[in-house]
Structure 1
């Protein structure tokens, strides 16, 4: 089994404008007889899932998302050689071969950008073209996973451009952001994305790829 999630740590990188992550001891074993940690973080911390309610007024919340949607076969697309701020679409997604006419409900895109998580370069990640997201949805995708802060562009002050979010979340799909460990995964992999049981706009997840 391969872990596809970033660890949650005090002061870790978050999407610009999101709540900062604070982790500290609340109870100590020597003093209190038990150890308990206090957590302060946003619902979109680290590797996480976006529910439609994240950017769609009246959209489905995490309370309405079933685990069945987030577990199963995934199409893994490795897109290499992209530069800072690059846009990529169907041409780049098909660099290793044409996409099948019907894709699994989970599609994961590996840009290699996970290695920059926690640095300023993470903000300059490649971004998916909305038309490519629309085509993946037409072919059966319902969960889009990326190894970047967002499938849309990110600026240091955040962004108001959410065209891929509009396509995927607007189509009642889900987006998983900040995946890691995707390099070397085969084109078809069994994955599980397990969110905390929060009921609103999104939730941190533990994502894994299962051994065949």
Structure 2
């Protein structure tokens, strides 16, 4: 098996969406002062690589803690605008994808969609009960047309509208020849 990290690093001063809170990580305790390290984190719920709850863009819809954990992982496939998309499989788009493809995406019944998703498409997908992942990186390292397991678990934020995540893809491994 091969694991590919699809998450961007989080750091003080990193770029954020216009109007979102700035990111700061402050060292509160050090080994020298307390014999351990501790940081205070300040960031928005849609910072870096993150997942969106349905409530993010639709008032009264499910928040992170309303959604079962099974919604945040599953079989996925990396796709482009110009390849066949599987049905009943998460779609991770390599390249930009806009709202004009909403009907095509919805017709494939993916449990989740990720990549560089236009805000209008994100709103449509969330309204249809499709989980969205934003700011995924290293998607070009995923083989097109090959199913893999995707994991993008949120923090357990009460009434959360979204959460930074550590997103990974686990690619199937080659069977080793054991000689038997």
Q: Please report the TM-score for the alignment, with normalisation by the length of structure 2.
A: 0.86
Asked if residue 196 in structure 1 is aligned to residue 155 in structure 2, the reply is: yes
1:181 to 130, 138, 162: 138
Contact 2:7 2:165 in 1 (8 A): yes
Question: 1:32 aligns to what?
Answer: 34
CA RMSD of aligned residues (A): 1.5
Unmatched runs of 5 consecutive residues or more in structure 1: 79-92, 112-125, 153-161
Q: Please report the TM-score for the alignment, with normalisation by the length of structure 1.
A: 0.74
- Cα distance between partner residues in 2 of 1:135 and 1:141: 11
> What is the aligned residue count?
167
Contact 1:134 1:168 in 2 (8 A): no
Which of these two proteins has the greater Rg computed from alpha carbons?
Answer: 2
Contact 1:103 1:136 in 2 (8 A): no
- Cα distance between partner residues in 1 of 2:70 and 2:164: 17
- Cα distance between partner residues in 1 of 2:142 and 2:68: 25
> 1:179-202, CA deviations, whole angstroms, 9 ceiling, x for partnerless residues?
011113122222111211113100
Unmatched runs of 5 consecutive residues or more in structure 2: 173-180
1:151-190 equivalences under 5 Å are 151-152=117-118, 162-186=119-143, 187=145, 188-190=147-149
Contact 1:52 1:170 in 2 (8 A): yes
Equivalent residue of 1:58, what SS? coil
> 1:96-139, CA deviations, whole angstroms, 9 ceiling, x for partnerless residues?
3x334x241x110011xxxxxxxxxxxxxx4x332312221122
Contact 1:74 1:189 in 2 (8 A): yes
Asked if residue 23 in structure 1 is aligned to residue 53 in structure 2, the reply is: no
Return structure 1 stretches of 4+ with deviation > 4 angstroms. none
Question: 1:129 aligns to what?
Answer: 98
